[in-house]
Amino acid sequence: MAERISNREGIKGMANPTRYGWLRVAYWLQRLTGLGLLAYLIGHIYETSTILNGKTAWDNMLSITETPGGHIVLILVIGMCVFHTGNGIRVMISEGGRGLGRPGQPEYPYRASSLNSKQRLCIWVSIALAALAMMYGAGVLFGN
Amino acid sequence: MATVTVPKKESQNLPGNPKESQEQQKTVTLRIARINPGEDAKGKFEEFKIPVQKWTTVLEAILYVKQNLDHSVALRYSCRQASCGSCGMKINGKPRLACYTKISELESETITVEPMSNYPIIRDLAVNFEHLFSTHKKMKPFIINEESEIKPGAKEFIQTPQDLEKFLQFSYCIKCGLCNSACPTMATDASFIGPQGLAQAYRYTADNRDEGKKERLKIVDQSHGIWRCHFAGSCSNVCPKGVDPAMAIQLLRGYLLGFRK
């Protein structure tokens, strides 16, 4: 048999949200925000662990994080956290077989029932809640 | 990939189209991926100018190339009516059936056809379905029931329309493989069962004549099985028959999570 090329799309294909509708966009955002929150968690553990090195080390760390740049990162974290939670709840409920519509006779033009308006609405609500939480966070962090 | 342009011959005509109307016909550029793994793994694109009408399908355009411009283009096709599932390929970046996709609906002057992603390439647009068929077979795609043999005195199975609706749409799968090509998990995990296989596992599990639920759930409940699906919905987005594999997978997961019996 001739040599074969696997032609697997790989991470590049997995991370491309543009071709398959809103659920794929939500999948991509869920992964992206998950990675973002993981990076924040690691950074946060590192930041708070500096307190073990004394007050000076802690004050030095705060001088880096308690800045406009640090606040913007926190606002992004708030947005990621809210979207990841909201969309995660949608995915968990759907993965139990709820909110997908009912199986039935498919009719042309064959719109998949699982990609229904309820799913899209939940995605949009998650995005809207994330935006609202970010605005509130920005108000608190930059308010004074 | 490099690009090679092949000029259109003056005297060519689409099959079934009168020559006199040729001047009024629109022309599109068809870019075909040419890959021969035995010779050049990198491959290249070849461009062809094709006369099209509003009903011309991508398959007809490729067959026009084969008939008039370059007979060496390799592809798999058969029924030309979205029933056999042979002509799946990536058309303008998305997996579709070539016989079911009209050039006019793509709304582009350039049509790019490539082999489907996530399958080994045999040549040009033809891909290997070994993994698809083997996972399909692993799902035991048949009714498991001791009483299913025709025996003297055996009664037929009673099935209501409601019972039928639970699995009917999933039995329309034509094994074209578009769902596996669109799946983001298949893009990175070569051992993943894939939406096609999982949807078929649900199809037979949901059938009230079947008694193989335990066996099938055991097959899908593994590290490269049902739990690798993250409900991106891409499989259902590309399915040309309305099978909705994403729904089937989540419903199948409902059995494992205890939401369904």
Q: Which chain B residue has its CA at the smallest distance from A108's CA?
A: B242
Higher-confidence position of B112 and A3: B112
Model confidence at B11: pLDDT above 60: no
Beta-bridged to residue B29, according to DSSP, are B49, B110
pLDDT given for residue A143 in this prediction: 85
Please judge whether B117 and A9 are an interchain contact, meaning their C-beta atoms are less than 8 angstroms apart: yes
In a domain, B110, yes or no: yes
Note the pLDDT of residue B149. Answer: 62
Whether chain A has a CB inside 8 Å of the CB on B119: the answer is yes
In a domain, B236, yes or no: yes
With an 8 Å Cβ cutoff, are A112 and B236 in contact? Answer: yes
Q: How confident is the model at residue B22 (pLDDT cuts 50, 70, 90)?
A: low
Domain count within chain B: 2
pLDDT band at residue A131, thresholds of 50, 70 and 90? very high
Residue B153 lies in a domain: no
Q: What is the pLDDT of residues B176-222, one digit of tens each?
A: 999 999 999 999 999 999 999 999 999 999 999 999 999 999 999 99
Give the CATH number, domain containing residue B251: 1.10.1060.10
The verdict on residue B104 lying in a domain is yes
Looking at the structure, tell me whether residues B137 and B241 fall in a common domain: yes
B171 plus B211 within the same structural domain: yes
Distance from CA of A43 to the nearest CA of B (A): 27
Instruction: Give the tens place of pLDDT for each residue, A13-37.
Output: 989 999 999 999 999 999 999 999 9
Domain that holds residue B86: 2-127
Whether residues B13 and B54 share a domain: the answer is yes
Q: Which of B27, B21, B33 minimizes the C-alpha distance to B7?
A: B27
State residue B14's pLDDT score: 55
Q: Do A114 and B233 touch (CB under 8 A)?
A: yes
Contact residues for A79 (Cβ-Cβ < 8 A; gap 6+):
A130, A131, A133, A134, A137
Torsion (CA) B101, B103, B109, B112 in degrees, nearest 10: 40
Whether B66 and B137 map to the same domain: the answer is: no
Residue B117 lies in a domain: yes
Q: Residue B111 is part of a domain; what is its CATH number?
A: 3.10.20.30
From the list A97, A103, A113, which residue is nearest B260 (CB)? A97
The letter for the amino acid at A89 is I
| Among candidates A4, A105, A114 on the partner chain, residue whose Cβ is nearest the Cβ of B247 | A114
Find chain A residues with C-beta within 8 A of B261's C-beta.
none
pLDDT of residue B43 exceeding 60: yes
Average per-residue pLDDT for chain B = 90
Q: What's the gap in Å between the CA of A131 and the closest CA on chain B?
A: 22
Beta carbons within 8 Å of B111's beta carbon, 6+ residues apart: B28, B29, B30, B31, B58, B61, B91, B92, B103
pLDDT in tens, B58-109: 999 999 999 999 999 999 999 999 999 999 999 999 999 999 999 999 999 9
Say how many residues make up chain B: 261
> CB-based contact (8 Å) between B32 and chain A?
no
Give yes or no: residues B64 and B140 share one domain.
Answer: no
Q: Does B196 touch chain A (CB under 8 A)?
A: no
pLDDT at position B17: 55
Model confidence pLDDT, tens digit, residues A59-118: 999 998 899 999 999 999 999 999 999 999 999 999 988 899 999 999 888 888 888 999
CB B148 within 8 A of CB B211: no
Predicted-complex ipTM score:
0.89
Q: At what angle do helices B213-220 and B195-205 cross, to 10 degrees?
A: 160
Of the partner residues A10, A21, A110, the one whose CB lies closest to the CB of residue B188: A10
Banded pLDDT at A1 (limits 50, 70, 90): very low
| Percentage of the residues of chain A whose pLDDT score is greater than 70 | 96
Supply the pLDDT for residue A23. 95
Mutate to test the interface with A, among B236, B249, B260, B261 (most CBs of A within 10 A): B236
Residues of A in contact with B254 (CB under 8 A): 96-97
- Please indicate, yes or no, if residue B230 is contained in any of the structural domains: yes
| Residue B152, in any domain of the structure | no
Distances (CA, A) of A81 to A14, B1, B96, B105: 22, 41, 36, 40
Rounded to 10 degrees, the C-alpha dihedral A117/A120/A121/A122 comes to 130
B86 CB near a chain A CB, below 8 Å? no
- Which chain B positions have a beta carbon within 8 Å of A99's beta carbon? none
Q: Report the pLDDT value the prediction gives residue B6, as an integer from 0 to 100.
A: 57
Q: Where does the pLDDT of residue A2 fall: very low under 50, low under 70, confident under 90, or very high at 90 and above?
A: very low
Q: Where are the domains of chain A?
A: 21-36+67-98+112-143
A139/A38 Cα distance (integer angstroms): 25
One domain, residues B118 and B141: no
The pLDDT of residue B150: 66
Chain A partners within 8 Å of B105 (Cβ):
none
Structure-token pair, residue A34 = 């998950």
Please give the pLDDT value at position B19: 54
Q: Do A11 and B188 touch (CB under 8 A)?
A: yes
Q: How far is B25 from chain A (nearest CA, A)?
A: 28
Place of tokens 């080994």: B120
* B182 contacts on A by Cβ (under 8 Å): 19-20
pLDDT at A50: 94
Tell me the average pLDDT across B243-258: 95
Is pLDDT above 90 for B121? yes
Q: Which residues in chain B touch residue A33, judged by CB atoms under 8 angstroms apart? A: none
Identify whether B204 is part of a domain: yes
Check CB contact under 8 Å for B41 and A3. Answer: yes
Pair B106, B167 in one domain: no
The answer to whether residue B227 neighbours chain A at the CB level (below 8 Å) is: no
